[in-house]
Amino acid sequence: MLDHTTDNLINQLLAAVGPAGLVTATADQAAYTTDWLGKWHGRVPVVVRPANTTETAAIVRICHATHTPIVTQGGNTGMSGGATPDSSGAQVIVSTTRMNQIRAVDAINNTLTVDAGVILARAQEAARDVQRFFPLSLGAEGSCTVGGNLATNAGGIAVLRYGNMRDLVLGLEVVLPDGRIWNGLRGLRKDNTGYDLRSLFVGSEGTLGIITGAVLKLFAQPSARTTAWVTAPSLEQLVTLLSVLRSRCGERLTAFEMMSQDSLDLVLKHVTETRAPTTGHSAFNALIELSDTEDSGLQEMLENELSNAMKDGLIDDAVMTSSQAQVAALWKLREGVSQAQVRAGAVVKHDVALPISALAAFAAQAGVAVLAATTAAGTTGRIINFGHLGDGNLHYNVLLPADLSSAAIHGHTLLINRVVHDLVLDFNGSISAEHGIGQLRREELRRYKSPLEMELMLRIKRAFDPNHIMNPGKLL
Ligand code: FAD
Ligand code: 2HG
Ligand code: ZN
């Protein structure tokens, strides 16, 4: 911080937001200064919790004048350390969680306007209240915020049908790094009036401004749904099944989530009240969902397709659901992988995107390369491969043996990341499909993004934030 003492800064912020908007006690700040994985820890003089856009703008003006770096935080559920401050004690956290108003619902325009701090599940509920559907859905939906979803361009389990967060937003309101408010809260499907500023803020991870409001796209509510679990001998066969279902069921295919048998076993071991949906032991599992606005014979359609897939040798087994409880039990298996990994120990995470046609070849080569690398390093690694197969997004994670020192974990992580990400590059994929860069993949980004793309991104950053106060140390 330049020129101003911490006390001075806190007094100015106090005048802007009042006592209810400040968290100054270190013990109370703990929930904000550490990420949910317990991987990153930081220190701040103060956490500021504005109640609205005007207060947010006042905070940013103060930070702009004092050159105080800002780390914006929503639900603090991110996977890449983007919302955790550094340990200098010079950064402040601006938490959006008090900005939690549903501003407007327009059922005719199919739009929902919300404060950025609205919890994702609350936005889904507000859409349901007017018989509409907001499709973004992910394991953390009970605590992540719409602002965080936008800032990370979140994906989740319905991307193959509805797209990711970038596809689900029509307008934004943003407090810029100098404290001015950009009101781009337009609910338009067509707007060709120049550069797409909105899109720049999506996926910017708090480095260009603080998103304070958003106009989200709503869809017709799917009132019919059918869900099945299948097992398959190889990833290649699951990819073929995905392709068959896409062509046969079209838009009705709304989820195609994959879990290797090792991922499933991890969940069964570490998450209570879970059980295997089938008795056999195939290498891969998939959770498949069809949905529609009316019951157009979905169950029969899926049954037929899976029966044909069985005859064609694409799958070993299939289980259809007949109750909501069964559906919930299947989703608990898929959504339990994150929690199971935390309980299992040190995991080297990846969040890679590949052309769907290359997934099986990638996974086969990555398996060989990871095995060779871990063996050469004198260790072992259990591959926990799961993810959003329908989007070509694998969480190709590697579970390390228990009781390794943190130095060994660090060394193995660098090694395994290198092997996996080099292969991703060979397949023309991406090293971050949906979790963003944050502080986790900052070095990797510099390594894998072309110098020209890095230069263009840095120029954009400088144009918006010349003083470099928005989430320094993240993304770029
Ligand atoms: P935070 O973690 O608070 O912040 C994330 C980043 O966004 C930070 O860089 C922060 O500075 C920035 N930011 C937050 N709010 C704003 C704002 N208003 N303006 C500007 N910048 C802001 N992600 C997926 O994409 N798909 C999944 O399937 C998925 N599953 C998950 C499952 C579990 C169990 C968990 C814990 C997480 C999962 N995630 C997933 C990751 C995470 O939930 C998402 O990245 C989510 O979008 C983050 O929202 P948040 O409000 O918690 O953001
Ligand atoms: C998911 O798809 C999340 O479940 C989390 O993106 C991935 O825990 C992970 O590695
Ligand atoms: Zn995911």
Q: Whose CA is closest to 383, among 398, 403, 367?
A: 398
pTM, two decimal places? 0.97
First to last CA, the chain: 21
Among 138, 143, 181, 435, which is best to mutate for testing ligand 1, by the most ligand atoms less than 8 A from CB? 138
Q: How far apart are CA 308 and CA 277, in angstroms?
A: 20
Q: How far apart are CA 112 and CA 134, in angstroms?
A: 9
Q: Would you state the pLDDT for residue 1?
A: 44
Q: Would you state the pLDDT for residue 296?
A: 85
Domains of the chain plus CATH, in order, are 4-95 (3.30.43.10), 102-220 (3.30.465.10), 224-338 (3.30.70.2190), 345-435+445-451 (3.30.70.2740)
SS3 365: helix
Ligand 2 center–CA 59 separation, angstroms = 33
Q: Would you state the pLDDT for residue 2?
A: 42
Please state the atom number of ligand 2 nearest to the C-alpha of residue 155.
6
Please state the atom number of ligand 2 nearest to the C-alpha of residue 156.
2
Please state the atom number of ligand 2 nearest to the C-alpha of residue 388.
2
Nearby residues of 306 by Cβ (< 8 Å), 6 or more positions away: 228, 230, 315, 318, 320
Per-residue pLDDT of the chain (476 residues; tens, 9 = 90+): 444 579 999 999 999 999 999 999 999 999 999 999 999 999 999 999 999 999 999 999 999 999 999 999 999 999 999 999 999 999 999 999 999 999 999 999 999 999 999 999 999 999 999 999 999 999 999 999 999 999 999 999 999 999 999 999 999 999 999 999 999 999 999 999 999 999 999 999 999 999 999 999 999 999 999 999 999 999 999 999 999 999 999 999 999 999 999 999 999 999 999 999 999 889 999 999 999 999 889 999 999 999 999 999 999 999 999 999 999 999 999 999 999 999 999 999 999 999 999 999 999 999 999 999 999 999 999 999 999 999 999 999 999 999 899 999 999 999 999 999 999 999 999 999 999 999 999 999 999 999 999 999 999 999 999 999 999 999 99
Q: How far apart are CA 241 and CA 215, in angstroms?
A: 36
Q: Please report which helix (H) or strand (E) contains residue 237, including its range.
A: helix 235-249
Q: Whose CA is closest to 443, among 412, 421, 425?
A: 421
Ligand 3 center–CA 155 separation, angstroms = 7
Q: Would you state the pLDDT for residue 295?
A: 87
Query: Which residue's CA is minimally distant from atom 28 of ligand 1?
Result: 156
Per the structure block, which two tokens stand in for 312? 């064609």
Q: What is the CB < 6 Å shell around ligand 2?
A: 139, 337-338, 341, 349, 387, 395, 397
Q: Would you state the pLDDT for residue 414?
A: 97
Among 53, 73, 287, which is best to mutate for testing ligand 1, by the most ligand atoms less than 8 A from CB? 73
Q: Would you state the pLDDT for residue 5?
A: 77
Q: Say how far residue 443 (Cα) sits from the centre of its chain.
A: 19
